[in-house]
Amino acid sequence: MTDSLRSATTPFRLPFRTRLARQGTRLVNGISRSLGRGEGTVIGGHVGLLIDPHAPRHLSEGRTVVLVSGTNGKTTTTRLVAQALSHAGPVVATTGANLLTGIMATLANANDAASVVLEVDEAYLDQAIQLVHPRIVVLLNLSRDQLDRFNEVRMLAKRWHDTFLLSPDVEVVANADDPMVVWVACGLPKVHWVGAGVLWHQDAVGCPECNGRIVFDDKGWHCTGCDLSRPDAPAWVEEDVYHTATSRLPVHLNLPGRCNVGNAALAATAARLVGIPAPTALRSMAGVHDVLDRYASPTLVGVATTLYLAKNPGGWAELIDMLQDHTDPLVMGINARIADGKDTSWLWDVPFEEFAPRHVVVTGERRWDIALRLAHAGVSAAVAGSMEQAIRAAAAVGSSSHVDVIGNYTAFQDLRHDMRHRVITAAHRAPYAALEAPCAPQAARVAPGSIHQRGSGEALHIVVLYPDLLGTYGDAGNGQIIANRASWRGIPVFLTHVRADEEVPTDADCYCLGGGEDAPQTLATSLLQGKTRTSGPLHRAHARGAVILAVCAGFQILGRAYPGAGGAIHEGIGLIDIATRKGEGVRAVGELRCIPSTALLAALRGAGVADSPQELFLTGFENHSGRTVLGEGTSPLGMVEAGIGNGDGSGTEGAFLPGIIGTYMHGTACARNPFLADLILGMVTGTALSPLPDDAARELRRERRAAV
Ligand code: GLN
């Protein structure tokens, strides 16, 4: 055993209540397992914590405790750290259960373990640090995930930041390539930077320190407004090599992907801190082949498969990179239960376009959300009612005998459950039922170009404004949908994503603004303000007759005032007469369903876009703390049936004015309500539009109506 691994606490030194808590946890978990109710970590851990809330503290004493947290890669990195540390003595590690109850359950089984490696949910890191006083915390990355639970990435980063200020003794191993992680850890006395890489930058363009803009380049990243920049990292990965100032160690993992090399580098750095040399640590890590079935290759219903988990845009970005050379058929299972996040808007942030050449079958409770998203990404997908059916259908359509299977969190858990109970392992002989629907894209999709590539003067020009600041909740999908629905009807169209460092064109036909976090919202507002109150780019575009679709933060920005990150009121661009203040009480988070306002109904009828009123409900997902009051002459977009909407007590949702649609609906709004996209197209073309098939959208609306 290395010097720095201390001997484990002997049981008799534990307080009586702690021993009781440990016994209680083990007993309940044992019963849960014997009843076939799973591992029981939650219920057992809960009982243990009820008996002695300080038990984790006592059970960790005398051991080396390492916590691993971040948006993506927690479970795998926990496993890699545990594997590395096992070189120096017995280790106990969490296996997927990453709340405080899981920590309790893991520690209850620590026995003579010299080291404890705990995976910790991002929202519980502060409490976990207080609870177990870790020696090392590994911070992987921080980006959007389950925003209905976390609300904003910066809110979470702030909590982490405040926690570490109170725990200066903790050794922090942190990813230097993630600005959010760096902002959390910079200035801490014991930080060890690792250049572990990260592909997803979209949540870090607005600087968490100064509200300035962060730019990413070959050398790393830096803020254009303050000193925050990528720190020099004494350890880093390049290709598949772990570098330090004095060594170059090839990383030979039995796990795929760039991200896992980065995870291994962070794990090796943590292992070094407890005296395990990096070559030894990396060698042990090669013993990890799959992690709770992620990357496993079981035969399911007679089909050879490989399993992957991806649950948010950052994780999908890494997975798409990992699968770039794969050509086999692909199954995707998407759910939206509590553990997944109930809002599926994030599907519009994932570059599924990359899967266009592959055969895809989708399944899961939210299969219509993903089917519609894929149709807009130019991916033809079939829709299956069950995972089993999906795998068999995928194997049948492709010429390959192997299928890649990707699930988001609970879709993956369900699959593992079915595997354990052999529901899905046997090769069924009965033919599978017909698929629910083939869901082919109507025609090729419109890909976003840059401003300088503007197409012919004849083409409609749709602009998605600042997706890097106002793109947190999937709303860039609106621009994509409007452009595709034009293109699918043969209308020439050009789509531009205008980023925060680009000039806003004032000659476009339609501008889409999305939701964003409080601080980037302020940066976006300042970029949209002109020299005089009415000379900003959106004022000029609107005066020319352009249409503006603005969601949540984007909607608030159009008004007179809105609350910033600290609650202080900022000036909006004053294009419409609305004012937003911080809401008292809980944030408005959840499904939003409305009936269209009379103004919207009249416009829809006038444009011939929709004629059966009973079909005309508005559906979306909201996530905001702002409460918006409409000025006297401002008509709402809808009247709330379920949810909060403007939340000022008037029962209204959004605003509808000539050339302007403002709403709190994410979801994405035009995905769930395609008639809004068509209304906008009707406004900018001035012509009647031919109907589109819209099967997936219709199914999605039916499913959402039944669910809410
Ligand atoms: N930050 C704003 C609010 O909370 C907008 C949030 C959003 O765009 N979803 O009101």
| Ligand 1 atom nearest residue 516's Cα | 8
Whether the pLDDT of residue 530 is over 80: the answer is: yes
Instruction: Give the model's confidence band at 32: pLDDT under 50 very low, under 70 low, under 90 confident, else very high.
Output: confident
Q: Probe ligand 1: pick from 518, 555, 580, 629, max atoms within 8 Å of CB?
A: 518
Q: Which residue's CA lies nearest to atom 5 of ligand 1?
A: 553
Whether the pLDDT of residue 1 is over 50: the answer is: no
> What's the pLDDT at 426?
65
Ligand 1 center to 471 CA (angstroms) = 11
**Whether the CB of 553 sits within 6 Å of ligand 1:** yes
Whether the pLDDT of residue 594 is over 80: the answer is: yes
Higher pLDDT, 427 or 130: 130
The predicted-structure confidence for 461-520, as pLDDT tens digits, reads as follows 999 999 999 999 999 999 999 999 999 999 999 999 999 999 999 899 999 999 999 999
> What's the pLDDT at 11?
47
**Whether the CB of 663 sits within 6 Å of ligand 1:** no
Q: Which of 295, 286, 287, 288 is nearest to 249 (CA)?
A: 286
Tell me what the mean pLDDT of segment 128-138 comes to: 96
Ligand 1 center to 623 CA (angstroms) = 6
End-to-end CA, the chain: 57
Q: Probe ligand 1: pick from 465, 578, 624, 665, max atoms within 8 Å of CB?
A: 624
> What's the pLDDT at 38?
67
CB within 8 Å of 526: residues ≥ 6 apart: none
**Whether the CB of 345 sits within 6 Å of ligand 1:** no
Ligand 1 center to 516 CA (angstroms) = 6
**Whether the CB of 552 sits within 6 Å of ligand 1:** yes
| Ligand 1 atom nearest residue 147's Cα | 9
**Whether the CB of 625 sits within 6 Å of ligand 1:** yes
Distance between CA atoms of 647 and 653, rounded to whole angstroms? 8
Ligand 1 center to 146 CA (angstroms) = 15
**Whether the CB of 343 sits within 6 Å of ligand 1:** no
The predicted-structure confidence for 658-698, as pLDDT tens digits, reads as follows 999 999 999 999 999 999 999 999 999 998 899 898 889 99
CA neighbours closer than 13 Å in the CB half-sphere of residue 422: 2
**Whether the CB of 628 sits within 6 Å of ligand 1:** no
- 627, exposed or middle or buried, with CB in 10 Å at 0-12, 13-18, 19+? buried
Q: Which residue's CA lies nearest to atom 7 of ligand 1?
A: 515
Q: Which two tokens stand for residue 230?
A: 């990528």
Whether the pLDDT of residue 218 is over 80: the answer is: yes
Q: Which two tokens stand for residue 536?
A: 């900003």
Dihedral in degrees, nearest 10, Cα atoms 95, 99, 104, 109: 0
Distance between CA atoms of 221 and 231, rounded to whole angstroms? 9
**Whether the CB of 668 sits within 6 Å of ligand 1:** no
The predicted-structure confidence for 90-109, as pLDDT tens digits, reads as follows 999 987 788 899 999 999 99
Higher pLDDT, 3 or 547: 547
Higher pLDDT, 98 or 118: 118
Higher pLDDT, 566 or 471: 471
CB within 8 Å of 218: residues ≥ 6 apart: none
**Whether the CB of 626 sits within 6 Å of ligand 1:** yes
**Whether the CB of 521 sits within 6 Å of ligand 1:** yes
Q: DSSP for 403-443, please give it.
A: EEEEE-HHHHHHHHHHHHTTTTTS---SPPPPPSEEE--SS
**Whether the CB of 516 sits within 6 Å of ligand 1:** yes
Look up the pTM and report it. Answer: 0.93
Name the one residue in this structure whose structure tokens are 């609306």: 701
Whether the pLDDT of residue 637 is over 70: the answer is: yes
Distance between CA atoms of 279 and 244, rounded to whole angstroms? 12
> What's the pLDDT at 429?
46
> What's the pLDDT at 9?
45
Report yes or no: 454 and 494 within 8 Å, Cβ to Cβ.
yes
Ligand 1 center to 526 CA (angstroms) = 16
> What's the pLDDT at 452?
53
Tell me the β-bridge partners of 629.
Answer: 579
Q: Which of 514, 586, 525 is nearest to 553 (CA)?
A: 514
Whether the pLDDT of residue 7 is over 50: the answer is: no
Q: Which residue's CA lies nearest to atom 3 of ligand 1?
A: 624
The predicted-structure confidence for 270-279, as pLDDT tens digits, reads as follows 999 999 999 9
Find the angle CA(350)-CA(352)-CA(353) to the nearest 5 degrees: 125
Strongest mean pLDDT among 206-215, 328-337, 452-461, 525-534 = 328-337
Distance between CA atoms of 251 and 667, rounded to whole angstroms? 41
> What's the pLDDT at 613?
61
What b/e string do you get for 259-287 counting C-beta neighbours within 10 Å, with b at 16 or more? bbbbbbbbbbbbbbbbebebebbbebbee
CA neighbours closer than 13 Å in the CB half-sphere of residue 85: 31
Name the one residue in this structure whose structure tokens are 């490989």: 306
| Ligand 1 atom nearest residue 562's Cα | 10
The predicted-structure confidence for 348-402, as pLDDT tens digits, reads as follows 999 999 999 999 999 999 999 999 999 999 998 999 999 999 999 999 876 678 9
Q: To the nearest whole percent, how much of the chain has pLDDT over 90? A: 81
The predicted-structure confidence for 418-464, as pLDDT tens digits, reads as follows 888 877 766 554 445 556 766 666 767 888 876 655 555 689 999 99
Tell me what the mean pLDDT of segment 400-419 comes to: 93
Ligand 1 center to 643 CA (angstroms) = 15
Ligand 1 center to 626 CA (angstroms) = 6
Q: To the nearest whole percent, how much of the chain has pLDDT over 70? A: 93
Whether the pLDDT of residue 4 is over 50: the answer is: no
The predicted-structure confidence for 303-346, as pLDDT tens digits, reads as follows 999 999 999 999 999 999 999 999 999 999 999 999 999 999 99
